[in-house]
Structure 1
Amino acid sequence: MRMLPAPDPSRPLELTRRGLVAALSGLASALSAAAAKLQDPSFPFGHDSIYTRLFGIRPLLSCRAHTTVIGGSRMPEEVLRAMAEANEYFVDMHELNAAAGRRIAEVTGAEAGLVTAGSFSGMVLAAAACLTGTDPEKIAQLPHPSWDKRECLMQKAHRFGYDCAFRAGGATIVEAETREELVARISPRTAFIAVLASVERSKNPPPGLLMPADLVAIGKQHGVPVVIDAASELPPVDTLTRYVKMGADLVIVSGGKGILGPQSTGLLFGRKDLIEAATLNHSPYTAIGRGMKVGKEEIVGLIVALNRYLKLDHETVMETWNRKARWMAEQLQEIPGLRAEYRINAYGFGEVRFEWDQKIIPLTPRQVQERLKSGEPRIVYYEDDRGGTIQTRTMEDGEEIVAARRLRRFFLEEARA
């Protein structure tokens, strides 16, 4: 044990603001943990949360992954402490952006990096970078480019709801269905090719689906930058490096999902010239990204979260999720009409899939979802037209017990009433 020096009685006790913040943060954490352990099960879940005290909103018990609509992730204590300390000082934001970008580049193996205001912001800035380069006149014109080279080429199977971010950055999306069609539509107007990384996990891929590696190769062959959206692709951890090694020109990853950084952060990394262009389009410059500013505390929080993430034993972390999921699946057995099974998903970790016989449990999937969300505790999960899926990766220890108890009671009693 490290021995602390004896206090000097001749010196007055000094407590810096930073020390006070750290002490209060540690005290709050300890009290919160103690309250969670001692909490009487008869009290509603989260009855003493700040959301209830301040707004009268009952919190949710998440059986989902890191989802923006329910607030993203839970930041670890060391991330929160770092953000509190970052609040103590002012800093040159250009210097901070550059320093954080260098760390992102080190981690990813890219030439350069940038902290963005989430993945959507990363997509906007990626599009802007490919359209404008470092030309100040073009930067000033966005989101209404007057030049021809402004097209974002996408295979139709890679289209998804958030690709409007590319349009928000000034690009015009051009679709192609087949490889031949896509290559034929490359022209002097093509600013970049956009790729959705999650197609690699497609269970039933459409015929002719091009993988990220295919599109990177096409981009290289024709001298067109390739932008890969890998926002939700952690795990696996090699998402941070694999697409750079593949040859992608820009890669986008969420900071507020698997990394457990601030929800309003993201990582954009890739070619040095394109990151320089994205930086000029980003805050604190008065360009299209000005409204996507990332606070100094959030930048610090993201880098601390990223450093922490790299040190984790990811196999052990994943097994803690799997253990909770297996236990929940066991608790949902022997309920008439309900089928619950533990399975490994496309990301490589465990989850619980449940469905029911509506002749025995006379509720539609939407009705079950609405009742569980409005009940006590308020359960949210992935609902679909056949049932639902539970993930445990965002759960604190013990929440799987609360969730399983609620689900079992619901399907045994309430759903049949």
Structure 2
Amino acid sequence: MNVYEEIGLKRVVNASGRMTILGVSTLSDEVAQAAIAGGQSYVVIEDLIDKAGEIISRYTGGEDSCVTSSASAAICLTIAGLITKGNKVLMDRLPNSDGLANEIVIQKGHSVHYGAPMPTMIRLGGGVPVEAGTANEVVPEDIEGAITDKTVALFYVKSHHCVQKGMVSLEVMRDIAHRHGLPLMVDAAAEEDFRKYIALGADLVVYSGAKALEATTSGFVTGKKQYIDWVKKQYHGIGRPMKIGKEGIMGLLKALERYENKDHEKEVRENREKVRYLCEEIGKIPGLKAQEIQDEAGRAIYRARVTLDPAVEIGCTMEEINRQLRQGNPSIYARTEFLNLGKIDFDPRPMVEGDKELIVKRLKEIIGG
């Protein structure tokens, strides 16, 4: 029995991925111990933020970094920093940025809902989102045409939530931004390569701590030192309710250290073995079909996609199957971005021993009536 069952909640089988609605990830003993140790001593928080930024930058290649309470907070604070440039009088006005250069150019296909609307995160930092192009096609001229004397940054979102076709590449966005003397900001919250986007020439890159890193609830932005200095100052203004505690920072630093030393290729192989098991066993259930798919954003993440077999009548829809998976005990959460198209996906990464067998058993029960 886990701690959530002890307070009367159902156990959850997370077959969805590193999702905020399920608590994102779980902590290793090392990360948990680092967080506990961090919480048991005092420290000057500004000194810790500076030191954490120095350490994080060793793993990213950025000139400096600023730790935050989440990737969403990092987006807000970064935009606030770019608008105010660390000016106290302007910081005290936020989120009211009327009359200031405050526009953030984002491709329309990147203006997504990832659990909250991306435009809301931009506005929380005092920014005004300016969507370029259309939902399924953006060309460089759209980006160029959206830039005005009020533009403070171009914003590229790297996410499976985004439209994956017809968008302007990060490299082209970078070149347009720099040609206009503007920074390129990248949301790479769930990405697994913490050096890639700085190496590609992005000026500011946002990451989640709790997703790929499996750290404490946290995030960070890494990049050019001048911009990072402006971000850090926001903790004396709009960043106050977004502050991260000392225990969260220490957990993040330990997670970065562990991540650097992980055998990522081995993890991928093990996860694909789970996917193969699920596909084989679910494929044996009359009325269901399963196949291996890769993450929409191109990451080395593989999942088992389940659909109904049109040749077999089972008397229920995929929506009903998903509902019953969630209503059972334990509650099984599949990935449901394509549920409206009759598809659910099982992500092996968060699964613990026995989960994949339990999923197959429960599907057999549901289909068997």
Flag whether TM exceeds 0.5 (same fold): yes
Amino acid in the other structure paired with 2:306: F
1:325 and 2:275 equivalent?
yes
Q: Given the alignment, which residue of 129, 151, 173 partners 1:190?
A: 151
Displacement of 1:103: 0.7
Q: Given the alignment, which residue of 390, 393, 402 partners 2:358?
A: 402
With over 3 angstroms needed to count, the CA separation of the structure-2 counterparts of 1:78 and 1:292, relative to structure 1, is same
Instruction: Give the whole-Å Cα distance in 2 for the aligned partners of 1:335 and 1:155.
Output: 42
The aligned counterpart of 1:19 is none
Structure 1 SS opposite 2:106: strand
TM-score, normalised with respect to structure 2: 0.92
Q: Given the alignment, which residue of 324, 349, 354 partners 1:393?
A: 349
TM-score, normalised with respect to structure 1: 0.82
Q: Given the alignment, which residue of 84, 105, 116 partners 2:36?
A: 84
The aligned counterpart of 1:12 is none
1:379 and 2:340 equivalent?
no
1:139 and 2:91 equivalent?
yes
Displacement of 1:148: 2.9
8 Å contact from structure 2 (residues 76, 122) kept in 1: yes
User: Where does the alignment leave 5 or more consecutive residues of structure 1 unmatched?
Assistant: 1-47
Displacement of 1:146: 3.3
1:96 and 2:57 equivalent?
no
1:344-366 deviation per Cα after TM superposition (whole angstroms, max 9, x unaligned):
43322321111114761222222
Instruction: Give the whole-Å Cα distance in 2 for the aligned partners of 1:275 and 1:195.
Output: 18
The aligned counterpart of 2:231 is 278
**Pairwise mapping of residues 120-199 of structure 1 onto structure 2 (< 5 A)?**
120-161=72-113, 162-163=117-118, 164-177=120-133, 178-198=139-159
1:108 and 2:60 equivalent?
yes
With over 3 angstroms needed to count, the CA separation of the structure-2 counterparts of 1:98 and 1:138, relative to structure 1, is same
The aligned counterpart of 1:13 is none
8 Å contact from structure 1 (residues 79, 304) kept in 2: yes
Q: Given the alignment, which residue of 215, 218, 240 partners 2:194?
A: 240
8 Å contact from structure 1 (residues 230, 251) kept in 2: yes
1:212 and 2:170 equivalent?
yes
The aligned counterpart of 2:182 is 224
Q: Given the alignment, which residue of 25, 49, 68 partners 2:2?
A: 49
8 Å contact from structure 1 (residues 158, 199) kept in 2: no
With over 3 angstroms needed to count, the CA separation of the structure-2 counterparts of 1:201 and 1:141, relative to structure 1, is closer
**Pairwise mapping of residues 11-22 of structure 1 onto structure 2 (< 5 A)?**
none
8 Å contact from structure 1 (residues 377, 406) kept in 2: no
With over 3 angstroms needed to count, the CA separation of the structure-2 counterparts of 1:179 and 1:315, relative to structure 1, is same
Instruction: Give the whole-Å Cα distance in 2 for the aligned partners of 1:357 and 1:317.
Output: 31
1:74 and 2:17 equivalent?
no
Displacement of 1:276: 0.5
Instruction: Give the whole-Å Cα distance in 1 for the aligned partners of 2:176 and 2:221.
Output: 22
Structure 1 SS opposite 2:304: strand
Structure 1 SS opposite 2:89: helix
Q: Given the alignment, which residue of 274, 280, 298 partners 2:248?
A: 298
Amino acid in the other structure paired with 2:123: R
Structure 2 SS opposite 1:240: coil
Amino acid in the other structure paired with 1:279: K
The aligned counterpart of 1:269 is 222
Structure 1 SS opposite 2:195: helix
Q: Which moved more, 1:265-274 or 1:348-357?
A: 348-357
Instruction: Give the whole-Å Cα distance in 1 for the aligned partners of 2:144 and 2:176.
Output: 7
1:119-152 deviation per Cα after TM superposition (whole angstroms, max 9, x unaligned):
1101101110110112111111110013331111
Instruction: Give the whole-Å Cα distance in 2 for the aligned partners of 1:144 and 1:103.
Output: 33
The aligned counterpart of 2:136 is none
Q: Given the alignment, which residue of 243, 258, 265 partners 1:315?
A: 265
Aligned length: 354
Instruction: Give the whole-Å Cα distance in 1 for the aligned partners of 2:21 and 2:59.
Output: 29
1:339 and 2:292 equivalent?
no
Structure 2 SS opposite 1:281: helix
With over 3 angstroms needed to count, the CA separation of the structure-2 counterparts of 1:201 and 1:190, relative to structure 1, is closer
Structure 2 SS opposite 1:228: strand
Structure 2 SS opposite 1:198: coil
Amino acid in the other structure paired with 1:318: V
1:151-174 deviation per Cα after TM superposition (whole angstroms, max 9, x unaligned):
111121221123220111001111
Displacement of 1:78: 0.4
8 Å contact from structure 2 (residues 188, 206) kept in 1: yes
8 Å contact from structure 2 (residues 140, 172) kept in 1: no
1:212-271 deviation per Cα after TM superposition (whole angstroms, max 9, x unaligned):
11111100111011110011122xxxx311111111111001100010001x20021111
Structure 2 SS opposite 1:154: strand
Identity of aligned residues (%): 27
Instruction: Give the whole-Å Cα distance in 1 for the aligned partners of 2:286 and 2:160.
Output: 37
